[in-house]
Amino acid sequence: MKKALVYALLLFPVLTFSQPGDSAFRPKYTAVLDTSKGRLLVRHSPRPAPQKISAYWNIEQKDIDRLHKFFRKITSVPASGAYLSGTRLPLGLDNYAYQYTGIVISKKKYIYVNAFYLSDIILIEDYKDWQTEPVTWKHGEFAYWSALFDVKKGEFSQLVYNSR
């Protein structure tokens, strides 16, 4: 009886928090950009910017927690846009650093996710200010992408890659 209780206590966290298809992911490298930097990030990206942005908003921790709760769902979203349309992310999510900013489209809150390929050398040499300044790059294909996260629905859309 004691063994059964011990096994149950040991397995409960595994069964509860590691369900197959679990969509939670907490990236190691993230930065939240305020509204002024968010505007620069979205407008100066080489990728097509989301259309009809009516406002920007400052993301709170609860919004980031919600994003991270559903983060793995991005791997099942096909890319849109002119370049590599229909493809899915080929690299693991842990291969990127992420910048977030809040945008409003049609009265709905979204988190704009800017992702760029990660290596310690890149962070140290090329993107020293990546936690406070937008990272934009003209080319790079799968190494640079963006997507929108609908905060209310917990869904991703508009995955777009950089061109070659």
| Residue ranges per structural domain of the chain | 21-161
Q: Which residues pair with 139 in a beta bridge?
A: 163
Q: How far apart are the first and last CA of the chain?
A: 62
* Residue 73, helix vs strand vs coil: helix
Is residue 10 classed exposed, middle or buried when 0-12, 13-18 and 19+ CB atoms within 10 A define those classes? exposed
Structure tokens at 134: 């937008």
Q: How far apart are CA 102 and CA 112, in angstroms?
A: 6
Give the Å distances, CA to CA, from 163 to 45, 71, 79, 94, 146. 11, 24, 12, 22, 12
C-beta separation of 56 from 134 below 8 A: no
Nearest to 89 by CA among 137, 159, 163: 159
pTM of the model: 0.78
C-beta separation of 100 from 67 below 8 A: yes
Q: What is the pLDDT of residue 62?
A: 97
* Residue 47, helix vs strand vs coil: coil
Q: What is the pLDDT of residue 73?
A: 93
pLDDT tens per residue across all 164 residues of the chain = 443 333 333 333 333 333 445 789 999 889 999 999 988 888 766 667 788 999 999 999 999 999 999 999 998 888 776 555 666 676 688 888 899 999 999 999 999 999 888 765 565 567 778 888 887 665 444 568 889 999 999 999 998 876 55
Residues making up the chain, counted from first to last: 164
